[in-house]
Structure formats: structure tokens, C-alpha cells
Amino acid sequence: MKEITFYKRFEKDILEKKKTITIRREGDLKEGDIVRVSRYEDNIYFCNIKILSVSQINFDHLNETHAIQENMTLDQLKNVISEIYPGLLDLFLIEFILID
């Protein structure tokens, strides 16, 4: 099973199905993948997700819809992405659902 980590601050939103996308540098996941999810800080497992889609996106094309899918404002989303991936413009948008 493939694995992915999220910062602890995103765990609650994922478990409450408020966060349904992730924006990453890597696009190695594919539609249909079942992925084991752990916290980045301590590698503690907290759920599994199913990948619905993976597409490329440019930082400048992030919009309000993406922010809603991340459970943030657009400014918050752009700030978080800039902190995690400073200067990186070409990213991957990974849409997922929480599974049991």
C-alpha cells in the first residue's frame, strides 16, 4: 500500500471530510490508489484515503474552489503552499476521499 503524510494540523479536517484535496510537489499517486495516511511529525497512522484524481496545477491558478476543498481561504492556501514549497509553481493537485 502506498503511503502519504500530512501535517498534524490537517488531521481533523481530513477525518471530518472537510479537506478533500492535497497540493504536492510529487504526482506519483494515481486514480484508484488506496493510500495509508500518517502524520508527518510522528508518522502515526490515522486513516486510509482513495485517490480520485491527480492533475497538474500552476500555483497562480489556485482558486476559491481549491481553497474550499482544502478547508481554507485562498490566502491561507497560497501562504501554506508557499511555506511548504517556496518558489515552486508547478504542482500536483490530488483529489481524495476518506475510506474505512
On average, the pLDDT of the chain sits at 97
CA distance 81 to 88: 9
Active-site residue flag, 3? no
What are the chain's domains?
2-99 (2.30.130.30)
CA distance 57 to 40: 23
Q: What is the mean pLDDT of residues 39-62?
A: 98
Look at residue 5 and tell me whether its pLDDT is greater than 90.
Answer: yes
Q: 16, 19, 64, 73: which is the annotated catalytic residue?
A: 19
Q: What is the mean pLDDT of residues 48-65?
A: 98
Look at residue 6 and tell me whether its pLDDT is greater than 90.
Answer: yes
Residue-wise pLDDT for 9-40, tens only, equals 999 999 999 999 999 999 999 999 999 999 99
On whether the CB atoms of residues 81 and 58 are closer than 8 A, the answer is no
Active-site residue flag, 20? no
Active-site residue flag, 19? yes
Look at residue 100 and tell me whether its pLDDT is greater than 80.
Answer: no
The pLDDT > 90 percentage for the chain reads 99
